[in-house]
Structure 1
Amino acid sequence: MDNSIKITIGVIIILVLVVIKVVYDEKKYMEKLTSRLKRTWGQPTRQEYSEVIWKNIKYYHENTAGENDIDDITWNDLELDRVYEKINHTRTSVGEEYLYAMLHKPCTDSEELAERERVIELMADNEEERLKLQIAFSQMGKPGKISVYEYMNSVKDINAPNRLKHILSGILFLISGALCFVWPSVMIIVFVAVVVHNIFSYYKDKSLIEPYIQLFGFIVRTVAQSRDIVDLKISGLEDYMDSLDKSVKSFKKFCKHSSLIAGGQMGGDLLDSLMDYVRMLVHIDIIKMCTMVSEAKKLNEELFNIYEVIGFLDSMISICSYRESLENWCIPEFDNKNIGIGAKNLYHPLIAKPVKNSISVEKSVLLTGSNASGKSTFIKTVAINAIFAQTINTVLADSYKTCFYYIYSSMALRDDLENSESYYIVEIRSLQRILDKVKESKVPVLCFIDEVLRGTNTLERIASSSEILAYLAGKGAMCFAATHDIELTNMLKKYYVNYHFEEHVDEEDVLFDYRLREGAANTRNAIKLLNMIGYDKVITYNAEKQARDFLKNGLWKETE
């Protein structure tokens, strides 16, 4: 057999083996990825949240927030960053940015929530189709170094070099090079001058576009990965796939020959090195980049449509996975004829072994009880689940019926030292924003207030807080307020129904059952708690006497 034939056969065998190895490795990778996706179903996908990661996750929301979004005070009161970490089962950076923003936007449209539920249930009922999407999303991944929305949004700020100048530079190089063969004595000097000019102008303008090469590479990859998602042809998601397909196709010109702007590192393989010289002399990468800048600015709407579709689908799968992690949950029922909340066995998402409580009310609620008895936790539980109901269409309860609300809280406040504002000033500003919203909103406001006006004296606190709470309820708001001021339970009977938490104190311990009970609190255990942990008997005895005398006479006596 001829040596050349042997070599040819040998090369073919090597190529076949390489192809087999590549196919085998890809198959094993997909098997491992599929196995991992099944194994981690129902679990959060991000274990660590650095300051940079949080900044990137929040960017989309912070730049698209609407006036009816959950505001920062409410978000921080309810520790919703921690709640988000539990819900974040997304596979892409786009998905986790979209989900974070969605949790800030209580939906007041039944059809929109119904569509979310349809997609969530579709993912729950079709594991094979869901896994296809999850695999595609996993390959997009979570870079974490920059917000994807911020990355995409920066396209509009790019100023491309003068494209015509670089086209002429390339043409001048080719013409002067060709004329060297016709008129060498003169054109060689001209040719050298053109080469020097082209290299100088290349590096001058290349430095301007260098930061955006990575961005455009990212967009090209995102478009390619989105095309792969369209090719999955998931039944039930045709509208989303058609929308994605339309946007992807609009990037055809943008992506064509995009490899011209790749590379650029001297000292690579021979082809890369040759292409570097070609780029320097005829500026093909800058010319292509100018075209891409122009196209990207025209395709801004399509680019963000890709973002929205990927973000929505990844978020719906995340919600589906989160439900899998829950002990029990329900789909909320909305009735907008009257305000109210009806919940059976409602619980808090961050408590490992929660005590579940039920409530059914059609007017505002006043909660009383001692410290640590469960008041604050309960109103946070109601608030978080109200947000869940209008965002992820999932409530941590056996059943839940309500109407659409805009949701606000005033709870975990503190002095604003930076602006030299006392706790009381911070508190009344916080309450003012709720009062303003109640006056202007056509949608009922659901608000949660913990210890109204705790930053001032008893007399003025009771007088002012009774009027504030009455005003909120009288203007149609649904208010859950926790207080130690038992006087308010009688003063607000017209507007509020009373509930309370209580505890049992014996000589050695205090026991809380965290059970919600109807009516106002009728026990006083604060002084007993002082006695239990070892305060001097003189203090606790005299305190009990003072309390008894006040309840009998309505006046405080001078201490002895």
Structure 2
Amino acid sequence: MVKKQNRLAKEETYFKNLLWIFENEVKVIDQKGNGYNNGAGFEDENHPYLSDLDIFGKSSLFELINRCSTQNGINLLADKLAAPITKDAINLRQEAVKELAAIIDDTFKFRAILRGNDINNIEQLKAKLKHKLAKQLKFTHQPILKFYIKLLPFIMPLLIIAGVIIGGKMWSVLTLVILVHAGLTFFLTKKINEVYYGFGGTSALLADYADAIKWTEEREWKSAIIKSLFSSNDKVSRQIEKLAKIIQAFDARLNLLVGGILNFTLLWDLKCCIRLDEWHQSSISNVENGLDRIGYFEDLISVATLTYNQPNWSFPTIEDEFSFSAVELGHPLIPVKKNVHNNFNVDTKPTVDIITGSNMAGKSTFLRTVGINMVLAYAGAPVCAQKMKLSIYKILTYMRIKDSLNELTYTHPNKNSSVSYHHQ
């Protein structure tokens, strides 16, 4: 009954999360905001272009794209928007993004599983698994103790049966064994508690991560980047499910009556600690990689969702030689009805293009349009253009007065604005 109730509660949470995700996509498409992290923590006034191009923060490019529920995913996406990568890396990301965009409805399942958990949970879990657990479990490295605990499921029933049949001294032996177990459990309580309180109550969280990783394992991926995320054929989801079951068994100690009986007869807490140690030695490396994989998928799914939501955008071509040309280039953060699209080409090297026009005519917005689409291109994302090709540049902006594109105001007319692109 309890298992059924837990299963139904989990399903209810999942479908609520799924509904939230669909509703959030409608809000994003209608330009009413995004319920995911807007990346405000990455704002940096000293960065060559982040502030001027509205990359992070409220109503930013990151807010438009982000669909990550873990800190690792958020960091990976932020890194891609903060600095260009190589041509080969961009092309590989485009390939992966296109593959995920083709199954975008299915990616909602992955996102629904992760939705609602604290963004730092995975990093905290990894830190515990990698740095703390091994030290905390050293007290279980006693071969005799391990052997004895493995025999207990056979020893205790035999003692009880012997007590029933023979009586007398056998009950005394059984009582002595129980007292020894109680004493040993009490003696090791501090060490056991250190292990338990690091993971106690996390079985549901671990089950969520196992489900998310299982989603990544169930499909035969074709793109090189995604395939590279699987370091072995081992099913990491199964290893995390095994950990979740160990923690769930450990939670029996929360019921004083049940926990007491299990510890006095089977040294239950010690048994769980030994199982944790065995799991740690065999699975920790694969599980760390699996947990990291969640973030990589979130990063790519975020860009894939943007791709799906913007069918009129196009993937740029990355050139080796000095190049920049765009057809019908628009600003990705300006509403469609107010967005002005332009063609722009850079034909010679070196070159300086001067944008002229009357005050409040949109000169700085045009500069930002070019810059922010370059950021999208270098992140392996589609750009707000009918067609675009460019080589790898170092972007540097200089716009002293920060204006809000959502309010369609522009740089102060008495201040100079510039965007420079240095070919790398």
- What's the TM-score once normalised by structure 1's chain length? 0.54
What amino acid is the match of 1:402?
A: L
Shift of 1:80: 0.9
Instruction: Write the deviation string for residues 353-383 of structure 1: whole angstroms up to 9, x where unpaired.
Output: 2223332123233445666443332222221
Distance 1:22 1:281 in 2: 23
- Could you say what secondary structure the match of 2:325 adopts? strand
Instruction: Indicate the structure whose relative CO is greater, using CA pairs within 8 Å and at least 6 residues apart.
Output: 2
Can you give the 5+ residue segments of structure 1 that lack an aligned partner in the other structure? Answer: 1-14, 63-69, 415-449, 455-461, 463-468, 480-560
Distance 1:154 1:386, change over 3 A: farther
- 1:387-466 → structure 2 map (5 Å cutoff): 387-412=375-400
Pair 1:249-2:254 in alignment = no
Pair 1:283-2:275 in alignment = no
Counterpart contact for 1:169–1:283, Cα < 8 Å = no
| 1:119 aligns with one of 96, 106, 113 | 96
Shift of 1:149: 3.9
Distance 1:272 1:74, change over 3 A: farther
- Could you say what secondary structure the match of 2:314 adopts? coil
- Could you say what secondary structure the match of 2:278 adopts? helix
Counterpart contact for 1:92–1:142, Cα < 8 Å = no
Distance 1:31 1:348, change over 3 A: same
Instruction: Write the deviation string for residues 83-111 of structure 1: whole angstroms up to 9, x where unpaired.
Output: 1111124577664443333323422223x
| 1:354 aligns with one of 339, 346, 362 | 339
What amino acid is the match of 1:83?
A: L
Instruction: Write the deviation string for residues 94-130 of structure 1: whole angstroms up to 9, x where unpaired.
Output: 64443333323422223x33333333333444xxx44
Give 1 or 2 for the bigger CA radius of gyration. Answer: 1
Distance 2:201 2:354 in 1: 56
Shift of 1:251: 7.2
Distance 2:243 2:320 in 1: 55
| 2:422 aligns with one of 472, 477, 482 | 477
Distance 1:23 1:189 in 2: 41
What amino acid is the match of 2:331?
A: H
- What's the TM-score once normalised by structure 2's chain length? 0.68
What amino acid is the match of 2:341?
A: K
Can you give the 5+ residue segments of structure 2 that lack an aligned partner in the other structure? Answer: 403-410
Distance 2:257 2:181 in 1: 25
Report what 1:457 is aligned to: none
Counterpart contact for 1:136–1:228, Cα < 8 Å = yes
Report what 2:405 is aligned to: none
- Could you say what secondary structure the match of 1:351 adopts? coil
What amino acid is the match of 2:290?
A: I
Counterpart contact for 2:314–2:384, Cα < 8 Å = yes
Distance 1:148 1:189 in 2: 44
Counterpart contact for 1:88–1:318, Cα < 8 Å = yes
Distance 1:38 1:141, change over 3 A: closer
Pair 1:100-2:78 in alignment = yes
TM-align CA RMSD: 5.2
Distance 1:388 1:220, change over 3 A: same
Shift of 1:284: 1.3
Pair 1:336-2:332 in alignment = no
Pair 1:206-2:193 in alignment = yes
- Could you say what secondary structure the match of 1:77 adopts? coil
Shift of 1:403: 0.6
Identity of aligned residues (%): 18
Distance 1:197 1:136, change over 3 A: same
What amino acid is the match of 2:365?
A: T
Distance 1:26 1:186 in 2: 45
Distance 1:200 1:226, change over 3 A: same
Distance 2:319 2:268 in 1: 70
Shift of 1:337: 1.8
